[in-house]
Structure 1
Amino acid sequence: MAARVSVALLACGMTVAARADDAFPGKMIKMINPYAAGGGSDVLARVLARDMSAYLKQPIIIENRPGASGLIGANAVRTAPPDGYTLLFTSSSALVGALVKAPQPFDPFQDFAPVARAVEYPLYMVINPEIPARNLRELATYAKNRAQPIFHTSVGIGSTGHLGCELFALAAGIPLSYVPYTSVPAALQSVMTNQTQLMCDSVGGAQAYVTQGKLRGLAIMGKSRMPQVPDVPTTAEAGFPGVEAGVWLGLLAPKGTPASVVQRLNEAMNLALRNPEMIERAKVQGLTIIHETPGQADAAIKADLKQWAEIVRIKQIRLTD
């Protein structure tokens, strides 16, 4: 009799859980952006939240929690209840950054349930125009013969921009010295004033300065050229096949969030990404919109992290408290 009662209770519990998932969302959703308000990821998050809210028929608010290169906001979501009401809209750099932190604040491979990546873009290699290099091979030769290492920069140790340049250095067999900055404008300014000489950034962030002659674009670290800079070769075309690096921005939930909730969020996100305003914003900023399932997102994110974990291991990059 007790066994029958237990089975009945279990079945009842499963039914209630299923109904709760089917009713999702039943209240406001909070989307944490681990970067400062007003930046590129923040603008995209707000457009995405607005359009997802229309589909889900519940408000989605953006909460900015900047600090520690995105780790503070990411950790806040990691420890939130896994019910779909606290989400993380982040760039890949926040997860990659956890790979270099000691002690590691969380496991970027396991501690989140990916909903989907929204957009991605390849890194854009730019240098100070005083450097006598017109392509990557000339840069490699110059770096090998230079009396001191070339200084490269990005926003924070372990950022994708940091590791992207380190990937090139490994392939080219050249020494680089890293100088971190707290913001993209500050890092770009350091290259333009020759305090540093190399940066792996985005077309959207750097191309205006290339056009003004304050920077020189050398290569796109992707599989194909960018329509915004059609004359800039890919790294493969420039003689360095396999040297590919990019950044994605996507939506993650805490580990353990029910699959049905993740799926509903995924459906809302894919619909929002079809909004003409989002498509136009992505085009202007040199972003490629991604439409994928949670499973596809999980596989892509893990592959991305695996590549960067190997660079971190080889270069022995560590950031301690």
Structure 2
Amino acid sequence: MVIALAAVLILVLTACGSSGESFSSGAKDDSKLKVTTTIGMITDVAKEVGGEHVQVTGLMGEGVDPHLFKATQGDVRKLDEADIIFYNGLHLEAKLGDILEQMNEDKPTIAVAEAIEASKLLAGDEEAGEQYDPHVWFDVSHWMTVTETIRDELMKIDPDHSEDYEKNAEAYLTELQELHTYAKVQIASIPEESRVLVTAHDAFHYFGKAYDIEVRGLQGISTASEAGVKDVTDLVDFLVERKIGAVFVESSVSSKSIDAVIEGAEAKGHQIQEGGELFSDAMGPEGTEEGTYIGMVRHNVDTIVGALK
């Protein structure tokens, strides 16, 4: 069944093109549990909780937009070889999500964001087929739920190392709680009238709700839909009216649309600075602070505060 499904996956996914190379946590080690993940934020949690007992392979590295991700034959092979797969779900991975659901017939394939209570999820773009906003990692308390889900699933598939998974998760959850508090305190230090976060696409609404900052995005929740002239004009009018002084670009989204907003505001006599680069749908380079979930969130918080305070 797995081999047959892999053949179907190759036909379906390679027809979509190539997304570039995927990455892993090191050389293959057959003695370890093979874990394949999609976005970098999930990859990082799997490494933290799994520790020495897992071999984690992430499909989406630095700068990769999961909304537009196109799997290669190599990606399909990594999915097929995995003992367990973790992905976000909530339609973040688009067509790949449908394939992953089918793979659940042969191995544990877990949509980690779907473990969060539906009442805590924000509405998505129904026209794009999204019932819920998938960007749950921007509320650190939600990512704590995801961490617990990954812990429980690793314990289930590898009970011999349950004690270590539980211990690793406990330590990581403590760090996440500290991060959650840090974000609240730092964002609260921005004067209320300046506490407005304007970005290229609507990825930060969980962040806004969790840390009490107004959020505006030029594009929709998914980057698959491009911003139009009216979107730019409406955002420019908002910035001018509210006297907002900074907007932000994203590492996984082209800066062209935000550049157009800045130029539009300048044409109306309102100067806006580019407040810095935020990580939204992808983390920073592997091996850097921003290449970890905690480092990514701290970078975003510090960049926002530095530009708006």
TM-score for the superposition, normalised by structure 1? 0.29
Report the structure number with the largest CA radius of gyration.
1
Answer 1 or 2: which has greater helix percent.
2
What's the TM-score, normalizing by structure 2? 0.30
